[in-house]
Amino acid sequence: MSEVLQKAASVAASAASVLIQGETGVGKELVARHIHECSGRSGPFVAVHPASTSETLFESEFFGHERGAFTGAAYARKGFFEEADQALEPAAPTEIIWEPKTFLPFHPNGMKFEAVSAGKTIDSWTIFSVGGGRLANEDTKEQDVPRIYPLKSIAEILEWCNDEGRTYWEYVEMCEGPEIWDYLDQVWTTMTDAIQRGLNNDGVLPGGLKVRRKASTYMVKARSFTDSIASSAKIFAYALATLRATCGPPSVNFAGKAGKS
Average pLDDT over residues 164-193: 91
pLDDT recorded at residue 257: 37
Asked, for residue 261, whether it belongs to a domain, the answer is no
pLDDT recorded at residue 259: 37
Q: Which residues pair with 142 in a beta bridge?
A: none
Asked, for residue 222, whether it belongs to a domain, the answer is yes
Q: State what percent of residues in the chain have pLDDT above 70.
A: 74
Q: Are 199 and 219 in contact (CB under 8 A)?
A: yes
Number of domains in the chain: 4
Q: Are 65 and 58 in contact (CB under 8 A)?
A: no
Average pLDDT over residues 238-245: 75
123 pLDDT higher than 70: yes
pLDDT recorded at residue 247: 54
Asked, for residue 140, whether it belongs to a domain, the answer is yes
d(CA 94, CA 4): 43
Residues 6 and 71 in one domain: yes
Lowest mean pLDDT among 62-71, 101-110, 220-229: 62-71
pLDDT recorded at residue 260: 37
Residues 195 and 214 in one domain: yes
Q: With bands split at pLDDT 50, 70 and 90, how would you rate the model's confidence at 173?
A: very high
pLDDT recorded at residue 135: 81
Residues 82 and 111 in one domain: no
Asked, for residue 258, whether it belongs to a domain, the answer is no
More confident residue, 197 or 167: 167
- DSSP collapsed to 3 states, the chain: CHHHHHHHHHHHCCCCCCCCCCCCCCCHHHHHHHHHHHHCCCCCCCCCCHHHCCHHHHHHHHHCECCCCCCCCCCCECCHHHHCHHHCCCCCCCCCCCCCCCCCCCCCCEEEEEEEECCEEEEEEEEEEEECCEEECCCCCCCCCCCCCCCCCHHHHHHHHHHHCCCHHHHHHHHHCCCHHHHHHHHHHHHHHHHHHHHHCCCECCCCCCCECCHHHHHHHHHHCCHHHHHHHHHHHHHHHHHHHCCCCCCCCCCCCCCCC
pLDDT recorded at residue 256: 37
Domain, as residue range, for 135? 92-145
Say how many C-beta atoms besides its own lie within 10 A of residue 213's C-beta: 22
Strand order in the sheet with 110-117: 110-117, 120-131, 134-136
Pick from 87, 108, 133: which residue ends a domain?
Answer: 87
Residues 228 and 208 in one domain: yes
34 pLDDT higher than 70: yes
Q: With bands split at pLDDT 50, 70 and 90, how would you rate the model's confidence at 145?
A: low
Q: With bands split at pLDDT 50, 70 and 90, how would you rate the model's confidence at 143?
A: low
Asked, for residue 234, whether it belongs to a domain, the answer is yes
pLDDT for 48-104, tens place per residue?
Answer: 776 666 666 767 777 776 776 666 666 777 777 667 654 445 556 777 888 878 888
Residues 11 and 82 in one domain: yes
